Amino acid sequence: MKKPLFSKSIKLVPYLITIGLVAIISMVGTVYYLSVTSSGRPKTLVVATTTSLYDTGLLEVIEKRFEEKYPIDLYFISVGTGLAIQHAMRGDADVILVHAPSKELIFMKKGYGVNRKIIAYNFFAIIGPASDPAEIKGLDIKAALKKIVEAGRSGKIFWISRGDESGTHAKEKELWKYAGFNWTRLRGEAWFLESGSGMGKTLLIANERDGYTLTDIGTYLKYFGEGLIRLEVLIGEGKELLNVYSVISVNPDKVPGVNFEDAITFTKFLISNECQGIIENYQKETYNQSLFHAAVNLLKEDTNPVIAQWIRDTAFFNGTECPQKYRLRHPELYGK
């Protein structure tokens, strides 16, 4: 609601006139409030999002442009994917921006998520000290993780895990399993540390310990570029390290009261050519590469067939980004 046009410090105005003005202002404010709420649009659209999208500053740029176009205020809750989903299930968020396909599918299967759209991708990377005491640079993922375990158990290095059930943490556990290790057992070993926090804090801890960690490349580039960390990328890109970001609206039939229609408006903006351009070009000149890559036209037009197929293989469900049964009232999102 707009701030009052008159302050309490007004003097020399007859009492009755002051009361009349206050009444008019109050009435105008009430009419404004009713005009907003009666249209079905609350003041804010609450977005539970991953820390990587938020910490890099990308969402600030998206927020500014979106709010210039639409009378909707965005409010971000920056947490890991697991917590973002919990917020949505409680009705504390209207839409989620996440990057853990396995968790996203469970969220939709339980009836909470609808109208999933893939919006962007980048890659995870394993980073560590330039001296690379575990000697992993240039190895494939399986060999690299085996070397990290050997070096950790011999007291040469630390591994810093997010340990927060985020999308990055989910990918880490998936990679340990892929390499033949049980994450639950590893976490009990002295060289295996957990930050229990977001990507930025985890990077700072890894840097302080001169250790190794898994990071999304976007957050890494920002922290490295600002001189906050000195660790280097030792293993990067490849199908196993693909990192796909999706937007999912909270199902209003499952969680009454959520701001569903504005969530759809936000989704449409994210997949628009304008926003896809923002995503692709964000900080590109600063870091000489994209922190995030646009995914919408890539999937529509197969502009890079290899990566498009990687996305389909790792982030599609039954051959589609959103199976028909999880689509609610907006077929136009899927080209119909």
pLDDT tens-digit series, residues 77-134: 988 788 889 899 999 999 999 988 989 999 999 999 999 999 999 999 999 999 999 9
For 124, which DSSP code? E
In a domain, 159, yes or no: yes
The answer to whether 80 and 169 have CB atoms below 8 angstroms apart is: yes
In a domain, 189, yes or no: yes
Both 93 and 108 in a single domain? Answer: yes
Residue ranges with strand state E in 152-252: 159-161, 192-194, 212-216, 232-236, 242-250
Q: Is 163 left (phi over 0), alpha (psi -120 to 50) or beta?
A: left
CA angle centred on 244, ends 239 and 246, rounded to 5°: 160
In a domain, 267, yes or no: yes
From residue 12, alpha-carbon distances to 5, 8, 16, 24, 167 in Å are 17, 12, 12, 19, 62
Both 70 and 212 in a single domain? Answer: no
In a domain, 129, yes or no: yes
User: 3-state class of 198 per DSSP?
Assistant: coil
Both 136 and 214 in a single domain? Answer: yes
Both 254 and 322 in a single domain? Answer: yes
The answer to whether 126 and 136 have CB atoms below 8 angstroms apart is: yes
Both 130 and 279 in a single domain? Answer: no
Both 139 and 274 in a single domain? Answer: no
Q: Choose one of 191, 222, 241: the last residue of a domain.
A: 241
pLDDT at residue number 336: 57
The CATH number linked to 109 is 3.40.190.10
Q: Choose one of 213, 241, 269: the last residue of a domain.
A: 241
The answer to whether 54 and 82 have CB atoms below 8 angstroms apart is: no
Instruction: Write out the residue range of the structural domain in which residue 64 sits.
Output: 44-122+243-334
The answer to whether 55 and 78 have CB atoms below 8 angstroms apart is: yes
Both 249 and 319 in a single domain? Answer: yes
262 token code pair: 């504005």
Q: Choose one of 211, 241, 271: the last residue of a domain.
A: 241
Both 247 and 319 in a single domain? Answer: yes
Strand 242-250 versus strand 113-128 pairing type: antiparallel
Encode pLDDT of 26-65 as tens digits: 333 333 333 344 445 447 899 999 888 888 889 999 999 9
**For residue 252, how far is the Cα from the chain centroid?**
21
Token match 């504005």: residue? 262
Both 249 and 112 in a single domain? Answer: yes
Residue 226's nearest CA partner among 51, 49, 56, 54 is: 56
Both 129 and 182 in a single domain? Answer: yes
Question: Low-confidence residues of the chain, pLDDT below 50?
Answer: 1-39, 41-42
Residue 134's nearest CA partner among 207, 72, 185, 210 is: 210
Say how many domains are in the chain: 2
pLDDT at residue number 328: 93
In a domain, 309, yes or no: yes
